[in-house]
Amino acid sequence: MKEHTLILLLFLVISIAIMGLFLVIFQSSKIENETGMQNPKKKRFFFFIILASILLVLLSITIPKSPYFQYADNSPAKVVYIAAQQYVFLSSFQAITLDNINTEAIEVPANEVIEFRVTSLDVNHGFAIYNDKAELVTQTQAMPGYINKLRWKFTEPGKYNILCLEFCGGGHSFMRSSFTVK
Ligand SMILES: [Cu+2]
């Protein structure tokens, strides 16, 4: 089974569990010989159905847009390794590890799928890509011990900046790097 199918299944299981919890609370709140509101059980049931429908609609819109599925079926034209460290971003076309710390200028082609393999050598950092208008293009977390894969297709050539989106210490706001799309 593909990784993104597993993630989709996980989301579905969690959403069914949440709906199950709603149902249990709804069932346990039944009171004998109620007075006051007319047909409260019916109203509660409709309220539950409306809530569940809203949840289902929102999940079905947002889950497919999860970055895990972006360009999942394309094989990337270039793989860029990113290692965040207080307070720099190391970038290379070769894997970066604690035994092999290297960094080089990155230039990637436009209109091709680029895969960033993002990790951290110390604490949690953010890896956010901004275009030359300072608009956030895409982002992921840089976490020690994990490699987060972020795929993106840059349609506009130019200089892109990398900034940290996770407060990681005193030098956080100075933590930046850049790369070129040609
Ligand atoms: Cu930071």
- String of DSSP letters for 1-50: --HHHHHHHHHHHHHHHHHHHHHHHHHHT--SS--SSSSHHHHHHHHHHH
pLDDT in tens, 119-129: 999 999 999 99
- How many Å lie between the centroid of ligand 1 and the Cα of residue 123? 9
Per-residue pLDDT band for 32 (boundaries 50, 70, 90) equals low
pLDDT at residue 38, as a whole number: 81
CB burial of residue 143 (10 Å; 0-12, 13-18, 19+): middle
Instruction: Give the CA distances from residue 112 to residues 83, 124, 155, in Å, rounded to whole numbers and listed in that order.
Output: 22, 29, 8
Q: Which residues pair with 176 in a beta bridge?
A: 163
Tell me what pLDDT residue 5 has. Answer: 86
Integer-rounded Cα Rg, in Å, for the chain is 23
> What six digits make up the tokens of 164?
């940290």
Sign of the Cα pseudo-torsion (123, 139, 178, 133, in order):
negative
Percent of the chain with pLDDT over 90: 72
CA-CA-CA-CA dihedral for 65, 69, 75, 79, to nearest 10: 90
Q: How many angstroms separate the alpha carbon of residue 182 from the centre of ligand 1?
A: 28
pTM over 0.75: no
> What is the whole-number distance in angstroms between the Cα of residue 118 and the centre of ligand 1?
14
pLDDT score of 161:
96
Ligand 1 centroid distance, CA of 111 (Å): 29
- Residue 104 CA to ligand 1 centre (angstroms): 21
Mean pLDDT of the chain: 91
Structure confidence at residue 4 (pLDDT): 81
pLDDT of 60 strictly over 70: yes
The β-bridge relationship of strands 88-92 and 78-85 is: antiparallel
Ligand 1 centroid–CA 139 distance in Å is 13
pLDDT of residue 92: 94
Domain ranges of the chain: 3-69, 78-181
Ligand 1 centre from 175 Cα, in Å? 6
* Average confidence (pLDDT) over 93-103: 85
pLDDT for 134: 92
CA of 174 to the centre of ligand 1 (A): 8
Average pLDDT of span 5-25: 93
Going from the Cα of 126 to the center of ligand 1, the distance in angstroms, rounded, reads: 6
Distance, in Å, from the CA atom of 81 to the CA atom of 90, rounded to the nearest integer, reads 8
Q: Give the distance (Å) from ligand 1 centre to CA of residue 66.
A: 23
Predicted local distance difference test score (pLDDT) of residue 20: 96
Q: Give me the CATH code for the 78-181 domain, please.
A: 2.60.40.420
Strand partners for 113: 153
φ/ψ of 180, rounded to 5, equals: -115, 140
